[in-house]
Amino acid sequence: MNLPAHTEDEEPGTRFLLYPQSPFLEPNAPLELVEVSAPQGSLGPGPSGPRMYTVNPVGKTTPYGAIIPGPNGPGMYLPPWDGNIHPPAMPDEFGNFIHIDPTDPAFEAAHLFGSAHFTMDVWQGYFDRPIPWHFARDFKRLELSLLPSLDNAHIGWGFLETGGTHEHGDEYRPYSLNFDVVAHEIGHAIIYSVIGMPSDGDASGEYYGFHESAADMVALLASLHFGSVVGTLLENTHGNLYTFNRLSRFAELSENAQIRIAANNRSLSEFSSGWSSEHALSEPLTGAMFDIFVDIYHERLLLHGLISRADEDLSDQMEGSPDYSEVMQGIFDKRYADNPEGFRLALLEARDYLGTYLADTWEKLDADMLSYFGVEKALLAVDQEITGGAFQRMIEGNFRMRDIGLTTAGPRLPDPDGNSHSNSVRTQVPG
């Protein structure tokens, strides 16, 4: 195992082994070593730290957020768990958690903590500031709780609780081992903290759709901080992200769930008469953001001389042609073979451009006034501030392709079901 090197004046972070992709996608799925910002020796059993802690309750059957009887009448069931717990994940002599075998029950707790902390580290880097918890008035720390009976993963007032699924026969697949799922839930917490909750307890459909889109982008960009994810992505595509996104074939070549969600062809006009699922409603906005990401990546390839202007012009001319994939893939195969490392660096640059743009954009939004068109306007303002408008054309073009700015989402059609965040523990506030 190759451990990251540190200079003498750099304090090493605490190390975890995480699955960059769901371990159930392939046998013997590889783990990747990561460091979180917590210095070695600063995390205790659980794991536990100053901002979050993990518990594996014994005998807990009721999920957090449920309404239960209390001495003063019904109320929300909230942390902290005060019952018995399974043995916690313990740090090694150096304060790391890399010694725990995946077959050890404690590994699930360590993986949940490491995934949540790693995601928050990535995005606090993009925001260039600490991100407080939206529930800070009541809880200083987020409780990361394991509840196998819960066929869901949800974040709420002071908790992030993960269960698992039995939909694949008798095999139990815990969501705590799926980095995308944990990062997505942390994404919701970030958005609640940055733009707030609706002041009147309700909001437009585009608020809820934006929430899902933003959480997907949090997970997508966090996953692109794993070297193996970036490597696999480039090996499978030879850097031709644009082709596979436009032809909706990207999903066939990527095991990353968030990338599959991002590469879609949905438009907002599909929801102008109404919507019933904010997850579906989120897809036009997520698709526009992913297209912008790919276009920024192309600009970085051009800047570094990794593709030519003629390559880019040909791509624009052939878009929609049945020969597009075959012709453009041949060009990318050759260009990538000449300089794979250059393509990797261009991809990382595009990742960090978009991460910074999104963080600055979200800072400008308000829960009570949120619309997809407003997101575009905020993104354009950020582009003007950072680059003087270098990406204005691609931002406007990709939003128009999704009919954003040309129409709006209609009313919610049926009453929300249990899967809707407008009627879930994620948006419930005690009192």
What pLDDT, on a 0 to 100 scale, did the predictor assign at position 327?
A: 85
Q: Is the pLDDT of residue 246 over 50?
A: no
Of 143, 173, 195, the residue that ends a domain is: 195
User: Do residues 310 and 229 both lie within one domain?
Assistant: yes
Higher pLDDT, 121 or 424: 121
What pLDDT, on a 0 to 100 scale, did the predictor assign at position 22?
A: 86
**Across residues 175-189, what is the average pLDDT?**
95
User: Do residues 213 and 345 both lie within one domain?
Assistant: yes
Q: Is the pLDDT of residue 121 over 60?
A: yes
User: Do residues 171 and 223 both lie within one domain?
Assistant: no
What pLDDT, on a 0 to 100 scale, did the predictor assign at position 7?
A: 45
Instruction: Check which CATH number belongs to the domain holding 98 and give it.
Output: 3.10.170
Residue 427 lies in a domain: no
User: Do residues 293 and 315 both lie within one domain?
Assistant: yes
**Across residues 203-210, what is the average pLDDT?**
91
Q: Which domain holds residue 57?
A: 15-39+46-65+73-195
What pLDDT, on a 0 to 100 scale, did the predictor assign at position 4?
A: 42
User: Do residues 108 and 146 both lie within one domain?
Assistant: yes
User: Do residues 114 and 220 both lie within one domain?
Assistant: no
Q: Is the pLDDT of residue 248 over 80?
A: no
What pLDDT, on a 0 to 100 scale, did the predictor assign at position 11?
A: 78
Each residue's pLDDT tens digit, 102-119: 999 999 999 999 999 999
Residue 6 lies in a domain: no
Each residue's pLDDT tens digit, 71-110: 888 889 999 999 999 999 999 999 999 999 999 999 999 9
Number of helices (H), then strands (E), belonging to the chain: the values are 14, 10
In whole angstroms, what is the distance from residue 108 CA to residue 260 CA? 25
Rg, Å, the chain Cα set: 22
How many domains does the chain fold into? Answer: 2
What pLDDT, on a 0 to 100 scale, did the predictor assign at position 244?
A: 52
In whole angstroms, what is the distance from residue 145 CA to residue 54 CA? 6
Residue 410 lies in a domain: no
User: Do residues 272 and 152 both lie within one domain?
Assistant: no
State which amino acid sits at residue 96: N
Higher pLDDT, 294 or 45: 45
Q: Is the pLDDT of residue 381 over 90?
A: yes
What pLDDT, on a 0 to 100 scale, did the predictor assign at position 216?
A: 92
Residue 411 lies in a domain: no
In sequence order, which ranges of 128-267 are alpha helices (DSSP H)?
A: 179-195, 205-223, 227-237, 241-246, 250-253, 257-262
What pLDDT, on a 0 to 100 scale, did the predictor assign at position 200?
A: 72
Which sign does the torsion angle of CA 88, 93, 94, 98 carry? negative
Residue 294 lies in a domain: yes
Q: Is the pLDDT of residue 272 over 60?
A: yes
Residue 409 lies in a domain: no
What pLDDT, on a 0 to 100 scale, did the predictor assign at position 158?
A: 97
User: Do residues 176 and 243 both lie within one domain?
Assistant: no
Each residue's pLDDT tens digit, 286-325: 999 999 998 999 999 999 999 999 988 887 777 667 777 7
Q: How confident is the model at residue 249 (pLDDT cuts 50, 70, 90)?
A: very low
Residue 424 lies in a domain: no
Neighbour count for residue 220 (Cβ, 10 Å): 28
From residue 183, alpha-carbon distances to 115, 121, 217, 220 in Å are 7, 11, 10, 8
**Across residues 361-390, what is the average pLDDT?**
96
Each residue's pLDDT tens digit, 145-154: 999 999 999 9
From residue 352, alpha-carbon distances to 32, 37, 296, 349, 394 in Å are 21, 18, 10, 5, 17
Q: How confident is the model at residue 415 (pLDDT cuts 50, 70, 90)?
A: low
